[in-house]
Amino acid sequence: MNQPKIKRRIGKYEVGRTIGEGTFAKVKFARNSETGQPVAIKILDKDKVLKHKMAEQIKREIATLKLIKHPNVVRLYEVMASKTKIFIVLEYVTGGELFDKIVNNGRMREDEARKYFQQLIHAVDYCHSRGVFHRDLKPENLLLDAAGNLKISDFGLSALSQQVRDDGLLHTACGTPNYVAPEVLNDRGYDGATADLWSCGVVLFVLLAGYLPFDDSNVMNLYRKISSAEFTCPPWLSFGAMKLIARILDPNPVKRITVPEILEDEWFKKDYKPPVFNEKEDINLDDVEAVFKDSEEYHVMERKEEQPTAMNAFELISMSRGLNLENLFDGEQGYKKETRFTSKCSASEIVKKIEQAAKPLGFDVHKKNYKMRLENLKAGRKGNLKVATEVFQVAPSLHMVEVRKAKGDTLEFHKFYKNLSTCLQDVVWKTVEDMQEMK
């Protein structure tokens, strides 16, 4: 018999393998047990977040994602917290990073690069319209879904418009050096929208060229090249692509091309189909603050439990088909000490129903995951009757339940099971053969 597996649950989510890991967070694959929907859960340690004074940044990331409902931005479904952790439930994107696509396949054809760039610009423009600036746009933060559509992720360095000072500019230098706009490096304040567009221009260059426009092992040389927009387009680029890149990578943010101007660019407009989508305007940010509160009312249950032991086909064949009291009686040997039935109910529901049925019959119930021990509080002919039950998983939607006498009189066990079976009529699944036998 296979050994039971340990299953971790966070609220209604069944948590699986680790799919990503960073300094302050770990990302786990999970599945919504109610809907079956796959998700990614970003798990943060509260103590680490508070120790490194990251609380405001995390709140900002959560608030940012809740504001954004765009098909080319990773969705945030909900935010939860336990006493020690914060859980950010995100859309699970299966296609990997755009960065990996470049590393594995090299530069892209212009039509393919243009499609990704069009999706990127539309999503970035939408974010800016909601007062959200990413500030770390790069291929590593651009994911691909199963259909090959781009999804912007990782708003950990994003800024909301409320953070803009009286001069109308942001003042925090951040991002990845190779993709950062010149005005971000000079520490005199910058416009989040034009800085994001510069990063989009670098991304477009990388997609078409297969390498970075600004790169140097010496950081000071790198900053000098960025500040003066010192780069050369490869000869295989079309004139339209070169012209657009040059207008985006203008070191003067005032003269840099804007999104409305990009949308009118001839190279950009080719085969452009902006996405059609519905967005929900009512956004509730109450849980953003709630995740940092210590009150139990805001905490989600985090627990580990065993899954029902898996049963293979050979083991199943050797056991009973369904609920049939004849299984309990052997003509030559008398009453049997165990029986089994199958059910299409969930394992947790089966356990709950057995408990509800056993208690009125005078039994004390002890549970451990999907195993139960039932003890009659009233002594019988051979002491207190004790019954053991266990739920086995045969298939995702089919379970087998073993009910056996652990101690006491076998006849009393048979009477108990007869009463139990009457209470479990809605739980038990009968095969066609069973139904024919009952006619």
Q: Which residues are catalytic?
A: 136
Q: Strand, helix or coil at 398?
A: strand
Residues 6+ apart with CB under 8 A from 277: 69, 70, 71
Q: Give the span between the Cα atoms of 416 and 431, in whole angstroms.
A: 23
DSSP 6-23: EEEEETTEEEEEEEEE-S
Task: Check whether 42 is labelled as a binding-site residue.
Answer: yes
Strand partners, 390: 371, 402
Whether 393 and 309 have beta carbons less than 8 Å apart is answered as yes
What residues have CB less than 8 Å from 102, skipping those under 6 apart?
A: 108, 139, 206, 207, 210
Other beta carbons within 10 Å of 222: 18
How far apart CA 288 and CA 322 sit, in angstroms, is 50
- Match 């002594």 to its residue by tokens: 379
3-class DSSP state of 340 = strand
Pairing label, strands 159-160, 132-133: antiparallel
Which positions make up the binding site for ATP? 42
